[in-house]
Structure 1
Amino acid sequence: MEYLLTTRPFWRAKKAFAAVGLLLAPYFSYGQTTRVEEGLFQCIRNAFTDGGQSLEGLMASFEAELMAEGLLESPEGADYRGLLQRIASGQGVIRPADRYFGPRYRGLERDTAALKSCWLSLPVPTRPVDSVLLRFEAFRERLLHEAIDPPQEAASYLDLLSEADFELPYYRLFTYELIDRQAYSTEFAPAPFTSLEALGALNSSGANVFRVYLNEEDQLIVADQVVTPQQMGALVAGHAQTFEQSALYVLQVEADVKYGSFVGLKDQIALAISQVRDTYARRNLGKTLTELDPQEREAVYEKYPIRIVSP
């Protein structure tokens, strides 16, 4: 992954760090054994309205869920790195959509201006270990603009981060949504349609089509009305229940929308349909979605498919 050092995001990051680093470096000068990532995570933690308790609680709960599901053996850095190694090898991740980290993280109350200021406060790196952070940030910027599949993303993290790096909460926080994406790819991704025409027999112009427009301000527009993520979730659930097998979800995005926002929108739709599936399974089969056997799960998924396309 050395080529990342020559990408434009890296140089933009380095320039931004240098611009303010000399002024703010004392803020991060904790001592020789303290890494910049620790101060950076503390800054992120303080941006939450409850002083970071909700963030730490969510991170602890998420890892406890991974351990309970048998995906993570322990909270140790070596075992967490092992989980990413399995994802990098293409191993699937099966877990309930209502336990995805991303939707819960985005629901926490925070000061967004304070959160953005954390990265502007990074000092100029002076030690070799700090280059890991710059390379990590450069790769994260790539993720906002490029569609990189979960195994490839996991492999990149493994190249960038050592076992000791995975002990730091900063790096774990920004790799959790990789697990979400692998779970989505494993359980909920529809057939890889490349266009509406490829859907064949499905009607792509009737009432069965649910259209969402995402603009560069991350506003969701449905039927010419701006809706909140909660409202959109309810609308998607209603659409799935009404049209069942023929339901189709069409996402239209402005050219400057970040890839991360697009992925987040797909996750929101998948979560809403997953909840419909779970409700149906409880009501008709007396089981939760995760308790279904493979044949039952296939039948429920066929009744409420997740067909998401972008024209």
Structure 2
Amino acid sequence: MIVQHSFQTTGKSGSQTAGTLYLVGTPIGNLEDMTFRAIRILKEVDMIAAEDTRQTRKLLAHFEINARLVSYHEHNKDASGPELIRLLESGQSIALVSDAGLPAISDPGADLAAAAAERGLAVVPIPGANAALSALIVSGLPTERFLFAGFPPRDRKPLTAWLNKLQRQEETLICYESPHRIAKTLPVMLELWGDRRIAMVRELTKRHEEIVRGTITECMAWLEEHPPIGEYCLVIAGISALEAAAAQQEEGSWWTSLSVEEHVAHYEAQNDDRKDAIKRTAVDRGLQKRDVYNEVMKK
């Protein structure tokens, strides 16, 4: 089903029955990054749904915004989400904000936006600062094509699987990492990807903004001399087209000595589930997925 909605200038238009969900970008550090439009929308909506009401209350106080503030975050979204949808359907307009930057990127706001869109409610972006794109444009790495990969897994096994899946990407890669994890993530990245070019960006737009560019090895050495502080955005060079072609040629027939069942088991061992392992095996062998499925399941 195709759902369309017309643009509204405020959250209290009487031209439609249902309200509007505004996805409002907020500063990632410097309050001067707040847009005039964002301030106006926050003043006009019926309520503001915030990831951390304490953090957002400071922002609202600074700009003298007195709208009603409610909590919406990862731990209460199953209860709060349906209630917010009900309020939207009843005609109230809501602004959704995250702690910093654009909502619905690696946060539960994505679920609320998807639920609203699914019900045909108006979902309107109010652009603002974004850490991933800000880090990308100052990284010194190619910006024509890029892939935002969110947060790396915490534990070694899922982290290895995550890195293996991204290893052949030619696009510049962007991810977030905590100061407590970055010194553990980079060595695994070096082990699996080699010594790629990387930019470590932290405290964007703040007083102690820092951009460290170099190889993974050089950045690891930097962290030994400068203990990590603050959340990091990592921008990593993708594999070159030449390297990708060479790797594909080298690995093109690695599976020829394996049975179909062993081929599927190989991918399952990389943390793929059975369905994905069957799909990848079918692609490797030029077979239909159902043929691989039948071969494996008859065993």
Q: Does TM-score exceed 0.5, indicating one fold?
A: no
More strand by share: 2
TM-score, reference length from structure 1 = 0.28
Higher gyration radius (CA): 2
Higher relative contact order (CA 8 A, sep 6+): 1
More helix by share: 1
